[in-house]
Amino acid sequence: MKKRISFPSPLSIALGLTFIVFCIALFHKLKSGVSCATGAIDLTLGWYNGLWDNSTGGLYFAFQMIFILVLGHVLALTSAVKIFISSLTRFCTNSSDTSITISLTAIVLAYINWGLALVLAALMVKNVLQKFQALNKPINVGLVGASAYVSMLVWHGGISGSSPTKAMEENALREMMLNSGYQINDSFPSAIPASETLFSSMNVAVFFAMVILVPLLLSWLAKRNQKNEVQVDAQFPIQIDETIKFKFNWTTPVGIVFLVVAVFVTIHQSRYSNSGFLNINFINFCLFGLAILLHNDLSRFSNAVRIAIGDAAGILVQFPLYFGIIGLMKAGGLTELISELIVSSATKDTFPVLAFLSAGLLNFFIPSGGGQFYIQGPMLIQSAGELGVSVPKTIMALSYGDQWTNMLQPFWALPLLGITKIKLGTIFPYCLALFAISGVIFMIALIVF
């Protein structure tokens, strides 16, 4: 009998990582002459204080990330999105056309909101499988599932990406660096505008490369692997979507007010703030108003929130543990030690690629992009400053590395697999191909720009 591969849960990984960091930090303290008891007490207090970090980079940041995922999911459950999905699936006539349609949709939407893209692409897959089941036509289920999962291959370079959007907030980076135990001077940027990260020439080039090459790769794989096409079984019951007409009621003005306020904030902050209007709070505010407007009924909106909140449970529990790890590293003196190791092994030219590779590796242990930015970001930013590397480029290198190994890391595939009932092993070979081509794209961008 074939043994199933069992993956540890993200929570168990976070707890295991906490224990490992505690042991390393304690060993480092013992080397400096501190007694075991004193060192353990200092680290425990550091961990506890980090666990409940109430700064703009702590629990506040965790709530922002939970909100952006929940609201994206809530939007994906609106009638308008269901109609949008039905209209797109008309182009899905075979495995090749389906992979192109779903991957393009997932990539474009992921640059807008990763929560929306992840759920909507999964719903598209389910809709397509129902369609092929009704037509009694074979389809490459694994390839179609992987086509939806490409949303998590590009999300961190989009306007809901944790690292670049957090860096846009006034003084958020400064506070994060100080909380991690680093000293900064007056020349350290108070905020990094989107023009230097998300809308930089490098990230724009990466976006177009992904839009063109990923669908082409998936289409080629579909034609090369026609033997893997199967008849869809009865686990996808046919559902006939009811036609829901938008009716103006008392809820409609609530959504409109949110969007009007968003426009006002845009105009005001564009005039009076150096950091600009585009940040996590602004994105969440717009999503909030849009979700209320499109659901057009508070009870439907509330029901959608209850459904969506389940996918945010992992973030809710994991983020404080990541903050606790930062507290351990700070109390144990590991932040300075790691920065010195990075600087000693890198040059100005090699640092962006090394930052990318290290971020890809750390993503296996910290699947949350926001949590990873909070732990690894300060170290990389400090090292970048010492080597004379651009801070915005460093942030994007971390972002690329985090999203790159999502193709090998099963955590964010769980919502997709839950909605579509596809097995992880079915999509993995195609995710491996996506991992290979995207790694080349990211490294070339970091070297050339």
Pick 271 or 32 by higher pLDDT. 32
Name 195's bridge partners.
Answer: none
How far apart are alpha carbons 156 and 163 in whole angstroms?
7
- Top mean-pLDDT range of 85-94, 258-267, 295-304, 436-445: 436-445
Residue 258 has pLDDT above 80, yes or no: no
Report the sign of the C-alpha dihedral through residues 35, 41, 44, 48, in that order: negative
Pick 395 or 117 by higher pLDDT. 395
The whole-number average pLDDT for the span 44-58 is 80
Cα dist from 396 to 151, 192, 220, whole Å: 17, 12, 29
Residue 227 has pLDDT above 90, yes or no: no
* Predicted confidence (pLDDT) per residue in 323-365, tens digit: 888 788 878 877 667 766 776 788 899 999 999 998 888 787 7
Q: Is there a domain that residue 6 lies in?
A: no
For residue 138, give every residue at least 6 positions away whose Cβ sits within 8 Å of its Cβ, in sequence order, or none: 132, 229, 230, 231
Boundaries of domain holding 26: 11-448
Residue 412: burial class (beta carbons within 10 Å; 0-12, 13-18, 19+):
buried
CA proximity to 319, closest of 373, 372, 365, 371: 371
CA proximity to 414, closest of 217, 152, 70, 68: 152
Q: Is there a domain that residue 1 lies in?
A: no
CB 368 within 8 A of CB 322: yes
Look-up of token digits 């809308």: 199
The whole-number average pLDDT for the span 282-289 is 82
Residue 5 has pLDDT above 60, yes or no: no
CA proximity to 376, closest of 395, 389, 390, 348: 395
Q: State the total domains in the chain.
A: 1
Q: What is the pLDDT of residue 72?
A: 79
Residue 243 has pLDDT above 50, yes or no: no
Q: Is there a domain that residue 90 lies in?
A: yes
Q: Is there a domain that residue 51 lies in?
A: yes
Q: Is there a domain that residue 287 lies in?
A: yes
CA triplet 39, 51, 172: central angle to 5 degrees?
110
Residue 448 has pLDDT above 90, yes or no: yes
Read off φ and ψ for residue 257, nearest 5 degrees. -60, -45
Q: What is the pLDDT of residue 252?
A: 67
* Cα maximum dimension of the chain: 73
Residue 198: burial class (beta carbons within 10 Å; 0-12, 13-18, 19+):
buried
Q: What is the pLDDT of residue 240?
A: 39
Q: Is there a domain that residue 3 lies in?
A: no
How far apart are alpha carbons 378 and 56 in whole angstroms?
14
Q: Residue 402 — pLDDT band, cuts 50, 70, 90?
A: very high
Report the sign of the C-alpha dihedral through residues 219, 223, 225, 231, in that order: positive
By three-state DSSP, how is residue 444 classified? helix
Q: What is the pLDDT of residue 244?
A: 46
Residue 61 has pLDDT above 70, yes or no: yes
How far apart are alpha carbons 279 and 54 in whole angstroms?
19
Residue 234 has pLDDT above 60, yes or no: no
Q: Residue 164 — pLDDT band, cuts 50, 70, 90?
A: very high
Residues present in the chain in total:
449
Q: Is there a domain that residue 2 lies in?
A: no
Q: Is there a domain that residue 432 lies in?
A: yes
**Mean pLDDT in the chain?**
83
Residue 137 has pLDDT above 50, yes or no: yes
How far apart are alpha carbons 103 and 121 in whole angstroms?
8
Q: What is the pLDDT of residue 1?
A: 44
Pick 240 or 193 by higher pLDDT. 193
Number of H helices, E strands in the chain: 21, 2
